[in-house]
Amino acid sequence: MSRLRIVATVVALAVAGVLAVILPTSPASAAACATPWSSSQVYTGGMIASYNSHNWQAKWWTQNETPGNAAVWADQGTCTGGGNPTPTPSPTGPTDSCLFPNWVAGRSYVTGDIVRYTNGRNYRATHDNPGYDPTISTWYWAPYTCTGPTPTATPTPTPTGPAGAFVVTEAQFNQMFPSRNSFYTYNGLVAALRAYPAFANTGSDTVKKQEAAAFLANVNHETGGLVYIVEQNTANYPHYCDATQPYGCPAGQAAYYGRGPIQLSWNFNYKAAGDALGIDLLRNPNLVQTDASIAWQTGIWYWMTQNGPGTMTAHNAMVNGAGFGETIRSINGALECNGGNPAQVQSRINAYTRFAGILGVTPGNNLSC
């Protein structure tokens, strides 16, 4: 190679190096933000939502679990063009104003939100929740004290909703369960009805009372007359963890034993019930044995949404005329129906006919399974 070509090459390389220093490399553009995450939407594995200027991908089924605060979401990196803004934390100490918004039943709240309840007091959300009553669901709310001016308007009346028309009075409830455990409160039951307004509130007055009697009769059988809060056979406790589920058993191998009025058991049932109710029961199964409203809600959840070993939900069995026998099949038919354990079936029937009598209705047909 000639000396002239060598010099020319060296000069070209030098110029290229200078340009590389002068002209910065353009950064790669961030991905566009997906549809913003919504606490009320159900997401399944692989779905993507944006939150706090990041895209997040769901690893498995989820609802009301905030991206960045729950293991179900995988961070896909920053994004542009939308997404939820970073939330401004609510004040954690006294402020110069107590003009907080009124609490609204059924409205979603996140940790740190402060509301004014119908009793005129303020409450701060200690956990995300879909509008639970601050005076009942004390795991989700704590009293909040502040300084400054307070509203002078008359507080909004407490909404009664469908629970105010429950077909079983407190006196009738006490008559049905004279020896019940104090944990199973009538008020807890009434509060739980808000989660499923159609429960004992569908069809004629007779059908409503028959459904209430049927539910309470099965509850009576499962808990020994509302005496037992948890499953009595502790040897079974380690057997309710289905490790094949993608979410596993984060509360522990032996944490998913029977609890509550329908004796909710298995990690997948705690997961499903919690997802439906907006409560993290997979990680906090003990809530079913410490919060009366949540306990009742899990029982009503199963009654309203689960077929179990049957072909229909217990709710549909009663409102569509299939009869009390089909509610037994939906709850424990694999072990009791078709001659499996006639004594247990008869025990449920006896309670149902007694409770129907207390409510002043006939029990109807198809009592056995």
Whole-number pLDDT of residue 61:
57
Rounded Cα distance between 23 and 21, Å, is 6
Give the H/E segment covering residue 6: helix 3-22
Q: Are 109 and 128 in contact (CB under 8 A)?
A: yes
Distances (CA, A) of 20 to 6, 7, 13, 28: 21, 20, 10, 17
Indicate whether 278 pLDDT > 90: no
Amino acid letter for position 131: G
Query: Can you name the CATH fold of 98-147?
Result: Seminal Fluid Protein  PDC-109 (Domain B) (2.10.10)
User: Tens of pLDDT along 134-176?
Assistant: 766 667 788 888 765 444 433 333 333 333 479 999 999 999 9
Q: How many CB atoms lie under 10 A from the CB of residue 236? A: 13
| pLDDT of amino acid 132 | 73
| 356 closest CA partner among 187, 174, 210 | 210
User: Catalytic site residues?
Assistant: 222
Query: What does pLDDT average to over the chain?
Result: 80
Q: Which CATH architecture has domain 167-368?
A: Orthogonal Bundle (1.10)
- The rounded distance, in Å, linking the Cα atoms of 127 and 364 is 44
pLDDT score at 17: 42
- Model pTM score: 0.58
What's the mean pLDDT in 330-352?
A: 95
Tell me the DSSP string of 63-125: SS--TTTSTTEEEEEEEES--PPPPPPPP-S--S---PPBP-TT--B-TT-EEE-TTS-EEEE
CATH architecture of 41-79: Ribbon (2.10)
- Over the stretch 43-65, which tens digit does the pLDDT of each residue have? 766 778 888 888 988 765 566 67
Cβ contacts of 204 within 8 Å, gap of 6 or more: none
Domain with CATH 2.10.10.20 in the chain: 41-79, 98-147
What pLDDT, in 10s, does the model give residues 98-139? Answer: 677 777 766 677 788 888 776 678 888 887 776 777 766 667
